């Protein structure tokens, strides 16, 4: 019986969270399925000896990408009979992998909902509504990456528009580079690191302009000099808040 959406959410919450997209990293995992078993042996599963069945399952357990359900069912099979091991490799592995994939998709869905990533939410829900092992695996291997890129494009365009309004030349330059490249990796890299670095470049220019004004107070000059030697976050804080606190 297919796990309910509520049960999957409980499972996803209970398990130790995985870092799924440092680039949101796009989701990876064992492509698993029974085809992987035959890839590690030239002998078809139904023709394997008991020892070969055991070795095939141990290889699955040794795979660091094997999820909780796969590990659980593999260990059950190893504790059972040769028929149990055969059944696991023939069908149980695929079913357990789908359970793990469901949990992974639910985790992604929760994060996407928090971030307002509409395309990822849409595609994750499609995969969960379909519920088949193939749909879940397809989302994790390709659909997630494509949907995240769609959401990232929207986010970069928003940043670009704001930067154009503010005259932030470095942010405009780097946002346009990411959009011109168009790859999921370029868009994600801009959002995760490029935007921060470009904004710091623009903020440094803004602080230098403040320092170039001979009429500013000694207190503001000191605060600006401190900010320009600081982190991107300190530069931004100075421009948004700090400079007004000094002269306020």
158 found inside a domain: no
Residues 144 and 181 in one domain: no
Q: How far apart are CA 175 and CA 248, in angstroms?
A: 34
On whether residue 35 sits in a domain, the answer given is: yes
Is 39 contained in some domain?
yes
Whether 200 is covered by a domain: the verdict is yes
Kindly state whether residues 147 and 231 are assigned to the same domain. no
Range of the domain at 174: 167-247
Identify the band that residue 47 occupies on the pLDDT scale cut at 50, 70 and 90.
confident
The tokens describing 224, both together, are 């600006």
Residue 161 forms part of a structural domain: no
Same domain, 110 and 219: no
Rounded-to-integer distance, Cα 227 and Cα 73, Å = 56
Statement to judge: residues 176 and 209 lie in one domain? yes
> What's residue 46's pLDDT?
83
Using pLDDT thresholds of 50, 70 and 90, give the confidence band for residue 155. very high
Q: How confident is the model at residue 65 (pLDDT cuts 50, 70, 90)?
A: confident
> pLDDT confidence of 44, banded at 50, 70, 90?
confident
Tokens of 54: 């055991």
Residue 203 CA to residue 182 CA, distance in Å, equals: 26
Q: Write down which residue in 89, 116, 151 finishes a domain.
A: 151
Give the total number of structural domains in the chain.
2
Does residue 30 carry a pLDDT above 70?
no
SS3 string of 3-67? CCHHHHHHHHHHCCCCCCCCCCCCCCCCCCHHHHHHHCCCCCHHHCCHHHHHHHHHHHHHCCCCC
116 and 62 in a single domain? The answer is: yes
Residue 111 shares a structural domain with residue 231: no
Average pLDDT over residues 131-141: 96
| In a shared domain, residues 24 and 139 | yes
45 part of a folded domain = yes
* Same domain for 68 and 12: yes
Flag whether 215 is in a domain: yes
Asked if the structure places residue 141 within a domain, the reply is yes
């Amino acid at each position: 019986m297919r796990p309910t959406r509520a049960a999957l959410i409980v499972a996803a919450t209970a398990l130790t969270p995985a870092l799924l997209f440092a680039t949101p990293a796009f989701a990876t995992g064992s492509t698993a399925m029974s085809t992987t078993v035959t890839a590690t042996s030239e002998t078809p599963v139904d023709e394997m000896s008991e020892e070969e069945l055991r070795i095939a399952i141990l290889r699955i357990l040794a795979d660091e990408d094997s999820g909780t359900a796969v590990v659980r069912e593999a260990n059950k099979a190893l504790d059972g009979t040769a028929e149990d091991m055969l059944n696991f490799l023939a069908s149980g592995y695929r079913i357990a992998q789908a359970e793990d994939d469901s949990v992974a998709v639910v985790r992604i869905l929760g994060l996407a909902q928090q971030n307002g990533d509409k395309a990822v939410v849409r595609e994750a829900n499609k995969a969960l509504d379909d519920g088949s092992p193939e749909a879940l695996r397809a989302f994790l291997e390709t659909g997630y990456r494509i949907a995240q890129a769609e959401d990232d494009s929207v986010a970069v365009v928003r940043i670009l528009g704001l930067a154009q309004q503010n005259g932030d030349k470095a942010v405009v330059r780097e946002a346009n580079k990411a959009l011109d490249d168009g790859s999921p990796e370029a868009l994600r890299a801009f959002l995760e690191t490029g935007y921060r670095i470009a904004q710091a470049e623009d903020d440094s220019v803004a602080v230098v302009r403040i320092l170039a004004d001979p009429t500013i107070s000694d207190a503001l000059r000191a605060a600006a000099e401190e900010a320009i030697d600081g982190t991107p976050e300190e530069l931004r804080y100075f421009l948004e808040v700090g400079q007004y606190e000094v002269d306020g």
